[in-house]
Chains A and B, each alone.
Chain A
Amino acid sequence: AQSVAQPEDQVNVAEGNPLTVKCTYSVSGNPYLFWYVQYPNRGLQFLLKYITGDNLVKGSYGFEAEFNKSQTSFHLKKPSALVSDSALYFCAVRGGSSNTGKLIFGQGTTLQVKP
């Protein structure tokens, strides 16, 4: 069965410091991996995705994520955090062979960036 785990409910970082939000997954076949961000009382916004190719994926707002097949991980990173990055972050996965596009979401990680 497909699954996604975000092991941290909350991540706290100081503004200007690097941040990492962790995600591990389990899926049959090659994974399609996604990161979404949700600001309070808003819908989810797409940040970035990995389907194939370079293991380091760059996305919106300076975020990037590293695909690690051996560790089945897809951690979200940013070199220098901003207070405005504070939000709820979701990792999601679908199997590469899926023809329905159905995503399995992690439970979410709240990122708190303090000035």
Chain B
Amino acid sequence: NAGVTQTPKFRILKIGQSMTLQCTQDMNHNYMYWYRQDPGMGLKLIYYSVGAGITDKGEVPNGYNVSRSTTEDFPLRLELAAPSQTSVYFCASSYSGDTQYFGPGTRLTVL
């Protein structure tokens, strides 16, 4: 099993550009999550999903959007990138809402 994979690993965006961060898991997990990690701030939940077709906002959803058309994939969309979205983004999944397993992260810089 590859576990949770994320692409790209790094990305530099200009203000106002858009992009999609990809997340895929091959563990047949129902639950998936997107976090952002800022220095000294821990992880903040952006969006989560408890199954295909079901998504909900987390703590910091503004400026982001998600979809969950399949069990495996949970892409995160950034529209109109802003410098405040410079961060490291982590995707995670869990089988039943218990232990979460994390991907390697995407480091995003908005200039």
Contact = CB atoms under 8 A, between A and B. Distances in A.
A23 B31 CA distance: 26
Interface residues of B, number: 27
Which interface residue of A43, A102, A106 has the most chain B CB atoms within 10 A?
A43
A105 B58 CA distance: 13
Contacts of A105: 35, 42-44
List 10 tightest A-B contacts by C-beta distance, closest first. A101-B97, A43-B102, A105-B42, A107-B42, A44-B102, A105-B43, A43-B104, A101-B31, A43-B105, A101-B94
B41 A103 contact: no
- Per DSSP, are chain A's interface residues mostly helix, strand or loop, or mixed? loop
- Per DSSP, are chain B's interface residues mostly helix, strand or loop, or mixed? strand
A112 to B, nearest CB: 16
A103 B40 contact: no
A98 B102 CA distance: 20
A88 to B, nearest CB: 10
Nearest to A34: B99
Interface string A40-52: 0111111001010
Interface in B21-69: 31, 33, 35, 40-45, 48, 50, 56, 58
Contact of B48 (A9, A49, A100, A107): A100
B40 A108 contact: yes
For chain A, give the interface size range.
20 to 34
Contacts of A100: 31, 48, 50, 56, 97
Contacts of A34: 99-100
A77 to B, nearest CB: 20
B103 interface: yes
A63 interface: no
Contacts of A51: 98
A99 interface: yes
